[in-house]
Every structure is written in structure tokens, then in C-alpha cells.
Amino acid sequence: MNILILGSGGREHAFALKIANSKLTDQLYVAPGNSGTQQIATNISININDFQEVKKTALELDIKMIIVGPEDPLVNGIHDYFASDIETKSIAIIGPKKMAASLEGSKDFAKEFLVRHNIPTAAYSTFTKENLSKGFDFLKTLNPPYVLKADGLAAGKGVLIIDNLAEAKKQLSEMLIGEKFGKASSKVVIEEFLDGIELSCFVITDGENYKILPTAKDYKRIGEGDTGLNTGGMGAISPVPFADDNLLYKIETNIIIPTIEGLKKDNIEYQGFIFIGLINVNNEPKVIEYNVRMGDPETEAVFPRIKNDFVEIFQSFKNKTLDQINIKIDERSSATVVLVSGGYPNKYKKGLKISGIEDVVNSTVYHAGSVQNSNEIHTNGGRVLAITSFGNDFKKALETSYESASKVHFEGMYYRKDLGFDL
């Protein structure tokens, strides 16, 4: 069958590598893709949030399955658009419908879902500019640090953790009154701060059954020791060393099963990936957030460890037979190191020549913010490449990824050299 992947990052390159190797794939297309996907698929330059344009392309290319990488098209309702159109309703869309995507699209919706289904999470309250003063009062009831989350999508930058009450009030005002994150912060969720270590859990569901994919831990801050600004992700490790059988049992029993059952109870149709951001507080897992797609760079660490044919997995959604598939996992550890442009996540240059990729032999190089011009590959974004390696433990895997990273060069290139420091 002909398959279309939507997205342009390292996550989509990881998807493409898996899908290209499926015996069920005839032609593979990626929109808009990057220099990595260009080597194994056909890139298509279209706006993935213009559903009419996506539809036109899908019909022209006889696409039978669309795999949605990023959150925006899902939150904007691409699945609903295709399902409601007589010309496209037979095309399989891998990713949830708009209502289900609200688990990521609205922090308030997600918190209400968690509380309604008794899933462990931080205490919270939601505020708008109309009740700003009540927001100030709520902050006074909490101990620092204070967690402020823009309700809507803010490109991963809508969460603030602030130590000082006066600053927290100032930032709350800037979010609600000053529209610091635009429409995304027209509502703000204030949460109690949970002290623990974070991890990511990935689930795939056909709407009835679910399968648990390998855990991962990603590193969001730009600076070593988890300092500086938040980014899209500077690296990831899979599996998480501290996620023992006892913790995994609690995650499945207290979080995953109630999530799947809660979706059914609420009549929320959900097919696709569920990313559950967790924090381990004294060996008790609690939910920080839901994402309605795979994470990036976690995908680049998790997908290499899954041995299954992903097209076969996705095909099971139609008849809800995911339970019949045995997910096969590589027992080795994987580690992903992200190479970013100098200045990221603030201002950075584009169009810089990348060299040395061909010298990497013991790792997989996933392209993200990169573009091919003639025979050269140039930078085209903040997060440029992700390098993933295997090892008997995460330290060995990291060692190989760092060795491979040292062979790649572009002006201003930066990567964190302390991944796994907290494990």
C-alpha cells in the first residue's frame, strides 16, 4: 500500500525508517519531510495543517494510510476531516480524533479527565483573566516552586516553573492579560509542584485493546545539569533504569488501564499512540501530562528497540485486533543524543553545511532540522540531528552515541554531554 507520513522531525524520520522496511509498504511519502526522509521516501512540500491540500495529495497518490507525527494536525481535527469525507473515509488515519486529541490540546481538559477517572496527578486549578485575583489567591495556598501551564499548545514552551511567589504572580498576569503565549494562555492551569524524577510511558491502542511500548526518559533543558531554557528535547534513554517491575505494575494498574477505560466510559474514540508523561514520587507514579502522539526525541530511542512491522500493527486498528499482536522488544538499551544549532532554543542560524554524517558507523543518525541542497546537507532548524546507539546498558549506549556525535560538524553545533547524569 502507499503510505503518507506527516511531519518533518527526527520522529518522522524514525517512523519512515520503520515503515520503509515493512513488507506491506509499496510507496512511502513524507510531508514535508527532511534530508533523512528524502533518502528513503519521497518528500512532498505541502502544509500539513491544510487538510484540503493533504486530501488532494492523498487522492492523487492513492494513499491508503496516513501516519500523523506532530500534534497540531490531530488537535486541529485531521482524523475527523478525513473520516467525514466520502472520498477519504476509507483512508486509515493513525492518530486520534479531535475530541481525544484534547488530552494534549487542552491542559484543563486533561486534568479534568485525570480527576474524573481517579488517575494520580498533581492538585490543580484553572484560571482566566476574568478571575486572575483568584489565581493569585490559589498561588498563596501552594508551596514553591509554582507550576504554570498554558492551557493550549505552545510549541513545548508553555510551562513555567517559578521559585518566587511575586514572580509567579507576574508571570500569571503576563500569560492571561499580556497573552504571553497567545491564545494558548487564555486559560492557565496552576499545579502543585511534584518532587521526583520524570519518565515517559508510551501506549498504543486500537480503541479497545492496548500494548505498552518501552519506557524512556528525555532531557528537556538546554544546559547540562538540567539548567537553562526548555527545548523540544536534548536526548533520551530507553528503557528507564529505575522503572522496575513494581513501578511498571503501578503504572499499568493505576494509570494506563484507567486511561484506556476512561476513554471508553467517556465515549472518546481513540486510535493511535498515547504518550504519558509521568513523575515518580517516592515510587508512586503520577501523571504530569498526556500527549496524543509519540514524543521527540523519545521516538528515536524507543522505535529502534521495537522489532515488529509497524504497518501490521497499524492495520490491526481497523478490526480492533491489536491484542493478537505480540510486541517484540530488543532487550538492549538505547540512547539518543540531539545535536542542535548554536543559540537554540532562541535565535539560531540556518543553512549551515553539515559534514561527517557519512563517518558515523555504529549509530543511527536521524535527521530533524536538516535539508538537502544538491549533494550537501544543511541545517534547517534548531534541533538538527539525533544520534541513537545500542548498548548493554544506557552508559554504553551513550558512550557510542557521543563517539558518533564527535564525528559530525556544523558551525555552532552543540549537544549535552551529561545525559543520564541523574540515573
User: Which CATH architecture does the domain made up of 2-94 adopt?
Assistant: 3-Layer(aba) Sandwich (3.40)
pTM above 0.85, yes or no: yes
**DSSP state, residue 417:** S
**DSSP state, residue 306:** B
Is residue 220 a contact partner of residue 157, using CB atoms and an 8 Å limit? no
CA–CA gap between residue 94 and residue 79 (Å, rounded): 8
What is the per-residue pLDDT across 176-234, written as a single tens digit (0 to 9) for each? 888 888 888 888 989 989 999 999 999 999 999 999 999 999 999 999 999 998 899 99
CA–CA gap between residue 62 and residue 58 (Å, rounded): 6
**CATH fold for the domain made of 123-191:** Dna Ligase; domain 1 (3.30.1490)
Strands 364-367 and 383-391: antiparallel
Is residue 247 a contact partner of residue 197, using CB atoms and an 8 Å limit? no
Angle at 207 between CA 32 and CA 213, to 5 degrees: 65
Is residue 280 a contact partner of residue 215, using CB atoms and an 8 Å limit? no
Q: Is residue 98's pLDDT more than 90?
A: yes
User: What's phi and psi for 367, nearest 5 deg?
Assistant: -85, 145
Q: Give the CA distances from residue 172 to residues 156, 177, 179, in Å, rounded to whole numbers and listed in that order.
A: 17, 8, 10
Q: Is residue 156's pLDDT more than 70?
A: no
Q: Give the CA distances from residue 366 to residues 129, 212, 218, 298, 304, in Å, rounded to whole numbers and listed in that order.
A: 42, 24, 16, 12, 11
Q: Is residue 119's pLDDT more than 80?
A: yes
* Domain spanning 332-423: CATH superfamily: Phosphoribosylglycinamide synthetase, C-terminal domain (3.90.600.10)
Buried (b) or exposed (e) across 353-379, using 16+ Cβ within 10 A?
Answer: ebeebeebeebbbbbbbbbbeeeebbb
What is the per-residue pLDDT across 260-304, written as a single tens digit (0 to 9) for each? 999 999 999 999 999 999 999 989 999 999 999 999 999 999 999
Is residue 136 a contact partner of residue 169, using CB atoms and an 8 Å limit? yes
Specify the CATH number for 194-330; select among 2.60.40.650, 3.40.1030.10, 3.30.470.20, 3.30.70.2860: 3.30.470.20
The domain locations on the chain are 2-94, 123-191, 194-330, 332-423
